[in-house]
Each structure stands twice: as C-alpha cells, then as structure tokens.
Amino acid sequence: MSDFVTLVEVGPRDGLQNEPGTVTASTKIELIDRLSDCGFPVIEAGSFVSPKWVPQMADSDFVLKGITPRPGIRYPVLVPNLKGFERAKKAGAREVAVFTAASESFSQRNTNCSIAESIARIEPVALGAKADGTRLRAYVSCVLGCPYEGIVDPAMVAQVCAKLIDLGCDEISLGDTLGTGTPGSAKAMVQAASDVVPIERLAVHFHDTYGQALANILACLDTGIRTVDSSVSGLGGCPYANGASGNIASEDLVYMLHGLGLPTGVDLAALVETGAWISSQLNRRNNSKSGLALLNTDATG
Ligand code: HMG
Ligand code: MG
C-alpha cells in the first residue's frame, strides 16, 4: 500500500457554501489559485446546485472559468442533478461530484427527495459522465450520524455505496456531516463500505464538530484509506446540518500526516499562509490549531 495520501481540499466549496456573508468571486478565485500553489492534487472548486438553495455558490461558473488550472491538479465541482451537470460542463468542469445520504431525513432536507430518488437523479449524471469521460466522485452524507435520526447503521452506508458503484462512480467520499463519529465507529463504517467498494476508491470526509476528525482519520488510515478531504483553516459547516462545524482543517491534517512520514505533496508553510489569508478575508476565526501555532512560532522566531 502506498504511503502517499491524496488530499482533496474542499474549502472553496464545502467551506464557502456556508459563509453567512458575501464572498466575492475574485476572493474565491484567488483562494483556489493559492491552494493550487500549495500543491493540493485535488481542489473542489464550487457547486452547481440550485442557487435558490445555496446562493453562496451561484457564481461557480464564473469562478471555474476564472481560475488558473495547473497541470495535474483536478478541480471537481458538486452537482445535484443533470441540470447541474450540464451547467458544470458548460463552465469547463472535467470532474463532478454527486451526493446522496445514508439517512432518509437528511436526504429530504438536503435535496428534497428520498435516497432512492437522489440515486435516480444521479443516474443520468453518471451516464453523461461516462459518455464524455468526466470523472465522477460521489458523496454519501451522514455515514456515522444524522442530525434528525441519530446513529446511522454501517450496513446502510454499504448499501448506498453499492448503488453508487453500480452507477459507475470512480470514487466515493464517506461524509461524517455532523462530526459525531469516533474512531471505533469510523473504522467499522469504512470496513463495511470496503466490503462493497475497493478501499482505493474510498475517501473520508470528516467535519470536526466534536473534535474527533483527526482521530477518526488516523483510525481510517489503518483500514487502508489513502484519500482524505479537508478544508483550509477548517472553513465550513453544512447548511442542512444545524450546528455542524467545518471539515478537519487542512493544516492540521497535513501536519499530522507529514509527522507520520506520509507524504501529501502539500507545502505546509504555504498552506498556513493561505489559511491566515482566507480567515482575514472572511473576517473569521482561523480554525486550524497547527496553522495558528505555526504562525505564532514564525512571529516569535
Ligand atoms: P427542488 O426544489 O426539489 O428541485 O431542489 P426542482 O428540480 O423542482 O427545481 C427547483 C428549481 O431549481 C427550478 O427552478 C429548477 O430549474 C432549479 P424554477 O423552475 O423554480 O425557477 N434547479 C437548478 N438550478 C440551477 N442548478 C441546478 C438546479 N436544479 C434545479 N442544478 C435540488 C432539488 C437538488 C436542486 C436542491 O435541493 C438543491 O440544489 N440542493 C442542494 C443542497 C446543497 O447544496 N447542500 C449542500 C451540499 S451537500 C454537503 O455539503 C454535504 C457534503 O459536503 C458531504 C458531507 O459533509 O456529508 C457533500
Ligand atoms: Mg461536507
């Protein structure tokens, strides 16, 4: 098993979709370009959902056209349905991410439909992606806990993953949307999913609401997971999971992985600077402990 851990930086989408104030397209573009300079292999650049549902992402086409894509870096965007896929393709996306959930109540709140209906919406996107060679990522939300239903059964996660694999998804990201998971439950859930999806096609996506994300990731690395989602300075939350905080901060994740001797290709110093920059742009607290500590270390020599 390779030591390299592929980091999927989701701040420009999962982070900024939840910002209360307006974030200009030029700030989004600069953020993505800075993250490219940090060396992330994958940066989720926006979302083509209904602008009525998530107005913060209404300018994703403009953003996608405005960034300076670097060779070898992938820039997926979130799409909920065929309409989103078509808008994303028109804006130049070469990879899209669809999403569903392992909890019926969350699926209803997030996409106004049941899990089965959300899978049915994904089907034409999957066909379109296959037809034109678009890489297809899929998220399963609420893999460990649901804000409306409580603890989620790993068997349910595996069942949803099996359907997504049947549709031809290249990769499935397992989302602990609420951040309630702990290392034991996270590991058991990944093991259940890996019964139906090869581990190299699974990613983990932890929100850090309960401060468990790094511990959960460490436990999942043990199962063979080598793709991890994170968000610069811990940006984010979920508009349909009240109280959920942002993803694990990318700076904290990179600090841990490099400490473990697991390469990521990400320049930690450049990332820390980017985390400080976006926090000040948004007038928001920097939620990365490593980021803050390293900034402090630099300041005091
Ligand atoms: P709906 O209202 O049930 O659907 O929304 P609809 O098909 O009846 O469409 C309603 C209106 O939206 C229509 O316009 C459509 O044309 C338009 P109108 O006729 O009223 O003028 N519309 C669109 N417009 C632009 N782009 C589109 C699109 N689709 C429809 N793609 C829908 C259903 C799924 C569209 C809606 O519920 C939606 O957009 N939901 C997105 C919610 C969202 O973005 N949540 C956050 C992202 S998921 C997440 O953060 C979790 C994740 O990070 C993993 C984790 O942490 O667990 C990924
Ligand atoms: Mg998320």
Residue type, 218: L
Using 50, 70 and 90 to split pLDDT, how confident is the model at 243?
A: confident
Q: Which residue has the tokens 């994303």?
A: 88
Residue type, 233: S
| Structure confidence by residue, pLDDT tens digits, 70-84 | 999 999 999 999 999
State whether the beta carbon of 60 lies less than 6 angstroms from ligand 1: no
Counting ligands in written order, the one closest to the CA of 175 is 1
> What share of the chain has pLDDT > 90, as a percent?
93
Cα(53) to centroid(ligand 1), Å: 6
State whether the beta carbon of 83 lies less than 6 angstroms from ligand 1: yes
Counting ligands in written order, the one closest to the CA of 77 is 1
pLDDT value of residue 57: 97
Phi and psi at 265, nearest 5°, equal: 80, 0
Cβ contact 276:241 at 8 Å:
no
- The atom of ligand 1 lying closest to the CA of 207 is 56
- 4 pLDDT more than 70: yes
Range in 19-23, 109-113, 120-124, 219-223 the model is least confident about: 19-23
Q: What is the mean pLDDT of residues 58-75?
A: 98
Catalytic residue status for 38: no
Q: CB neighbours of 301 closer than 8 A, spacing ≥ 6?
A: none
Nearest-angstrom CA–CA distance, 217 and 221: 6
Cα(15) to centroid(ligand 2), Å: 8
The string of DSSP codes covering 166-204 is HTT-SEEEEEESS----HHHHHHHHHHHHTTS-GGGEEE
Query: For domain 6-300, which CATH number applies: 3.30.365.10, 3.40.50.2000, 3.40.228.10, 3.20.20.70?
Result: 3.20.20.70
- Please list, residue by residue across 98-108, b when 16 or more beta carbons sit within 10 angstroms of its beta carbon and e when fewer do: bbbbbbbebbb
Nearest-angstrom CA–CA distance, 57 and 45: 10
| Structure confidence by residue, pLDDT tens digits, 165-190 | 999 999 999 999 999 999 999 999 99
pLDDT value of residue 21: 87
Which parts of 91-135 fold into alpha helices (H)?
104-111, 115-132
Using 50, 70 and 90 to split pLDDT, how confident is the model at 301?
A: very low
Phi and psi at 297, nearest 5°, equal: -60, -45
Cα(125) to centroid(ligand 1), Å: 14
Nearest-angstrom CA–CA distance, 36 and 70: 7
pLDDT value of residue 299: 54
Residue nearest (by alpha carbon) to ligand 1 atom 15:
50
Residue nearest (by alpha carbon) to ligand 1 atom 57:
141
Ligand 1 binding pocket mutation candidate from 49, 106, 109, 164 (most atoms within 8 A of CB): 49
Longest dimension (CA), the chain: 56
State whether the beta carbon of 84 lies less than 6 angstroms from ligand 1: yes
Nearest-angstrom CA–CA distance, 85 and 107: 19
Closest-CA residue to 15 (of 38, 37, 35, 41): 35
